[in-house]
Amino acid sequence: MSEPLLSLKGVNTYYGESHILHDLSFDLYKGEIVGILGRNGVGKTTTLQSILGIPAPRTGEVRLSGEPISGLPTHSIVARGVGWVPQGHRIFPTLTVVENIELAAARARPGSWSVEKVYDAFPRLHVRRDAHGGSLSGGEQQMLAIARALVQNPDIFLMDEPSEGLSPLIVQEVGALIRRLNAEGGTILLVEQNLAFALSIADRILIMAKGAIVYSGTPDDIRNDPDITHRFLGMGAVAAE
Amino acid sequence: MAAVRASRISKSYGAFVALKDVDLLVAPGERRAIIGPNGAGKTTLFSIIAGQKQPTSGTISINGSETTGARPDQLWARGLSRTFQRNQLFQNLTVWENVELACSAHYRGFSTSVSRDALEEEIGGILERVNLLGSHDVRVANMAYGGQRQLELALALAGRPKILLLDEPTAGMSPAETQAMLKMMIALPRDMTILIVEHDMDVVFSLADRVMVLNLGEVLADGTVQEIQNDKNVSEIYMGKAL
């Protein structure tokens, strides 16, 4: 198998004295969509943030295209092609929609995602382009957070619950957008609580518990074995597509 | 007499029209869901009903009395509580302390203070209802997100609401947490009027008696769960195909 695009080996991350990630290891290959599932509080968001160095792992290693990136400042990791769609929107509330997007695009890497192409993907943001970020609805803020990552043209998208707060139709459109990014060569690492959404777009699923990977399989593996969702996610069987 | 009546509510921000001539009539004890695409005006309508925002035009009545322009604390004292899309909790206090603060607000200004036993009984009852009694001494900052959402519900219940507004109560929850929250909401007293904004259609269709659909600030549809499920416009604009 080829060299992974992103590789975590023996990562241990702490918040103060709280040990969150325990010897976490996994690989992400170019062109993959990998979903990370797990109950709240198991370290899914911390995994994405450790890749970005906020905070950096205390021990272990994160490699991007074979080069170590753990310990680098976050802006340097982003400049190497790692894009982030944070949970909870994290947009600038006092800037307008267009200012939020243009600020993200200011130091973007070359690529196909322009401000206009983003408006094409999210027409609602074009309608609201002069509104302040803080005046947007929760779902509109989520779209803006995704848009800000798109215009940076990263190689890898780290997406933290991109479907949260979105209406069912927009969730489907975000799913289609992720597939489109993937078809254009993008690699996606996705943290999700929406199990049906994650299973519908991911090539591979990792399930976390207590800061470690406890299961790895395909969406079909999970659909075909109700015991997996019961044991690791505390829920009933998943309906087949 | 309606528990909540919104008459021709409009809200504009400059040239942007967030709500336009919205009418809403909710009967006492009814469980009404408000759904719609992102940016449809759902949370804005909640904020106007709960007094956090003032309408540009139109009136709100609660239990037959006009409340347009009333402050949130005045509405809270009249039995209207709400939760928020993003938790509004004291992160450095414990679960118990958060609920105690909310419950204590009832006794502010009373010449005689409530007995400690009665207050503790009230707090314990609320925490039991939201399955947090076992976590009463946990600092909120150390709780998982699902637990924080349950505490958000507890704080709303501390207002002893007759009318409860729930703004996306299951957003960001794991599937198991969503199921647990749904059970809690279904188990709320049947005479409590509930308005819920929610994108999880399993939750909406399990909980609601009726559903109103907002689109671009206007009422697109209003009907029973079955009527809304069969409405082609709603499917096209909001639901798409089921995931």
Radius of gyration of chain B (CA): 18
pLDDT tens per residue, range B30-64? 999 999 998 899 999 999 999 999 999 999 999 99
Strands A18-28, A6-15: pairing is antiparallel
Cβ–Cβ < 8 Å for A221, A228:
yes
Does A193 contact B at CB distance below 8 Å? Answer: yes
Q: Rounded distance, CA B43 to CA B171, Å?
A: 14
Q: Tell whether A172 lies on the interface with B, counting CB pairs under 8 A.
A: yes
Domain boundaries of chain B, sorted by first residue: 1-79+161-243, 87-160
First to last CA, chain A: 30
Helices marked H in A137-167: 138-150
Which residues are CB-neighbours of B204 under 8 A, at least 6 positions away?
B33, B35, B196, B198, B211, B225
Q: Are strands A204-209 and A33-37 parallel, antiparallel or unpaired?
A: parallel
Domain extent listing, chain A: 6-233
Residue numbers in B near A41 (CB within 8 A): 144-145
Question: Among all residues of chain B, which has the CA nearest to that of A162?
Answer: B172
Residue A73 has which token pair? 């400042």
Pseudo-torsion of CA B70, B72, B76, B81, nearest 10°?
Answer: 120
CATH 3.40.50.300 correct for A6-233: yes
What's the pLDDT at B243? 36
| ipTM for the complex shown | 0.73
Residue A32 confidence (pLDDT) above 70? yes
pLDDT surpasses 70 at A239: no
Terminal Cα distance for chain B, rounded: 40
Nearest CB among B38, B146, B243 relative to A124 is that of B38
What is the pLDDT, as a whole number, of residue A187?
A: 97
C-alpha to C-alpha distance for A178 and A182, rounded to whole angstroms? 6
pLDDT digits (tens, 9 = 90+) for B146-199: 889 999 999 999 989 999 999 999 988 888 889 999 999 999 999 999 999 999
Sign of CA dihedral B141, B146, B151, B152: positive
Q: Which two tokens stand for residue A111?
A: 């690529």
pLDDT band at A39 (very low <50, low <70, confident <90, very high): confident
pTM of the predicted structure, to 2 decimals:
0.82
- Specify the fold of B1-79+161-243: Rossmann fold (3.40.50)
